[in-house]
Amino acid sequence: MSSLTTMQKTERAPSTLRLSARMSRLGTETAFEVLVRARALEAQGKHIVHLEIGEPDFDTPRNVIDAGINALNQGFTHYGPSPGLPELRQTIADYVGRTRNVSVKPEEVVVVPGGKPIMFYAIMALADEGDEVIYPNPGFPIYESMVNFVGAKAVPIHLREDLDFALDIDELASSITGRTKMIIINSPHNPTGGILTKRDIERIAEAIGDRDIFVLSDEIYSRLLYDGQQHFSIMSLPDWKDRTILLDGFSKTYAMTGWRMGYGVMRADLAAQVSRLQTNAVSCTASFTQMAGVEALKGDQASVDKMAAEFKRRRDYVVERLNRIKGFSCKMPKGAFYVFPNVSKTGWKSKPLADALLEQAGVAALSGTAFGAYGEGYLRFSVANSMDNIKLALDRVEEWTKKNL
C-alpha cells in the first residue's frame, strides 16, 4: 500500500464545531447583515439605495484627517497605554466636564475602539449571572445581546410611540428589583430619535433613589439634536457621577465610524477594571487615531453643526413624505439621524416588509424588530444618505406601496 493511500485512509473527518454555550446567547446588529444582503443584490446588477446603516455619509473633517496623518508621520504607530493616551484622556475629561457640567479627571476616562466596547466592557465588568439589566426596547441591539451573553437577565422597557418614545418612568420604577444591577438609557435614541429631557432624567434618578445601581448612559448622539432641544446627562445630577457610565465617541459626531474610537467616563476604580478588560481584548485603541481625536474635540466644530443642519433638512423631508405614504405614519424624531415610521397599518409585519422593500423596491431599511421585539410594527430608515438618494428611495417605497397595498 502506498503511503498516499494510507494518508487518505486516516484523514480526519471535519469535526462538528462545538461552541461555548454562551455563544448561543449572543445577538447581533442586523444592519451589518442587511448591508451584506444589499451588496449581494448589487453584485447581481440591482440598484439599491442604502438607508440601513447608521453612519454619517460625510467625510471626516479635514483638520481631523490631517491630525491623523501628522500623528502617523510623527511615529504614533506604536502601542499606547490601555486606557488611552494621556493627552486624549485629558482632552476628553475637559470636554465631558464642560458639556456635562461635572468635574472629570483623566483617570475616569477609558478610550476604546468605538463606543460599542464600552457596552461590552461595562456589562462584562458589572453584570453577573442572575443580575438584572433594564434596557430600552426597541433599542440598540447590542445592549440585549451583551446582557444575555454574560448570563444576566435582560429586562426590557417598552418605548412607546404615544410617549414620543421616551421611557415610561412608572414602568421603569416597577421593573427595578433587588437584583437590578444596571439600567441602560440612550438619548438621543437609536432607532426612534426620542430624547430624555432634564425632567425625564431627574425622574429616572428619583425612581432609582439611592440604590446601588449603575446607569449606562449612551450619549453617542448627544450633538445631533434638533429644534432647539438640549442634551442633558444623568452624570450632571448631583451625586450621580459615581453611578454613571457615560458612553460617547467620535463615530457619529465627527463622521469617524471607520477610525474606531469612543470612550467611557466612569469612577476611576471601575475605569481601571474596564481598562483591564481592554488589555485582555485589544490592548489599546490605535495611537494615531487618538491624536486625531484630540483635534476633533479641540479644533473647529463648524462641521458638526453643518452636518446636524443637513440631517435636520433630510429628516423634515423624509417625515413629511412618509406621512403621505399609504399605511405609514411617522413621528418627528428629536435627535440622531433616523426616522422610525409606524407601518402597522400596511398590514405587513416589519421584517417581511423590510425584505420586500430591499428585494423588490431596491431600498435597504431595517425592520423595527432588529431593535427588539417591541420594534414590531416599525421600520428604521437612516437619513445619512444624500438628499438625491433619499428622494429616490422614497419614490420607490411610494411606488411599491401603490402596487402592493
Which window, 7-15, 16-24, 41-49, 109-117, contacts ligand PLP (CB under 6 A)? 109-117
**In angstroms, how far is the first alpha carbon of the chain from the final one?**
70
Does 96 contact ligand PLP by CB under 6 A? no
Angle between helices 302-322 and 387-404 (to 10 degrees): 20
Does residue 295 belong to the site contacting ligand PLP (CB under 6 A)?
no
Q: Given the complex with ligand PLP, which of 84 and 114 has the nearer CB atom?
A: 114
Q: Which of 80, 84, 136, 249 binds ligand PLP (CB under 6 A)?
A: 249
**Judged by CB under 6 A, which stretch of 42-50, 110-118, 356-364, 388-396 contacts ligand PLP?**
110-118
Closest CA to 183 of 203, 160, 161, 163: 203
Min CB(192)–ligand PLP separation in Å:
11
* Residue among 56, 115, 264, 293 that touches ligand PLP (CB under 6 A): 115
**3-class DSSP state of 184:** strand
Torsion sign over Cα 383, 258, 265, 63: negative
Interface residue with ligand PLP, options 114, 333, 335, 372 (CB under 6 A): 114
* 362 lies in the site for ligand PLP, by CB under 6 A: no
Q: How many residues bind ligand PLP (CB under 6 A)?
A: 13
Cα–Cα distance between 245 and 233 in angstroms, integer? 11
Stretch that binds ligand PLP, among 111-119, 274-282, 320-328, 361-369 (CB under 6 A): 111-119
Interface residue with ligand PLP among 52, 57, 200, 218 (CB under 6 A) is 218
The verdict on 54 binding ligand PLP (CB under 6 A) reads yes
Q: How far is the CB of 368 from ligand PLP (least distance, A)?
A: 14
Q: Which of residues 128-157 bind ligand PLP (CB under 6 A)?
A: 140
Residue of 89, 116, 334, 396 interacting with ligand PLP (CB under 6 A):
116
Residue in 298, 302, 306 with CA at minimum distance from that of residue 67: 298
How is residue 6 written as a grid cell?
Answer: 494510507
Query: Is residue 278 near ligand PLP by the rule CB under 6 A?
Result: no
Burial 74-109 (b: 16+ CB within 10 A, else e): eebeeebbbbbbeebbbbbbebbeebbebebebbbb
Choose between 196 and 325: whose C-beta lies nearer to ligand PLP. 196
Beta carbon nearer to ligand PLP, 384 or 393: 384
Collapsing DSSP to helix, strand or coil, 389 comes out as: helix
Site string for ligand PLP, 176-215 (x = CB under 6 A): ----------x---x-------------------------
The number of CA neighbours under 13 Å toward the Cβ of 341 is 29
Q: What does the per-residue mask of binding to ligand PLP show for 15-34, with x meaning CB under 6 A?
A: --------------------
Q: How far apart are the C-alpha atoms of 145 and 157, rounded to whole Å?
A: 15
- Select 118 or 361, whichever has its Cβ closest to ligand PLP: 118
Q: Which is nearer to ligand PLP, 262 or 264 (CB)?
A: 262
Cβ contact 378:343 at 8 Å: yes
For residue 333, what are the contacts with CB-CB under 8 A and spacing of at least 6?
188, 192, 193, 194, 226, 315, 319, 339, 340
Shortest-Cβ-distance residue relative to ligand PLP: 114
What is the rounded CA–CA span in Å between residue 29 and residue 34? 9
| The one among 147, 220, 225, 330 contacting ligand PLP by CB under 6 A | 220
Q: Where are the alpha helices (DSSP H) in 239-386?
A: 268-281, 287-298, 302-322, 350-356
Measured torsion, CA atoms of residues 175, 176, 178, 182, in degrees rounded to the nearest 10: 120
Residue 56 binds to ligand PLP (criterion: CB under 6 A): no
Smallest Cα–Cα separation from 229: which of 187, 192, 167?
187
- The stretch near ligand PLP (CB under 6 A) out of 35-43, 108-116, 315-323, 374-382 is 108-116
DSSP percent split of the chain into helix, strand, coil, nearest 5: 50, 15, 40
Residues that bind ligand PLP (CB under 6 A): 54, 114-116, 140, 186, 190, 218, 220, 249, 251, 257, 262
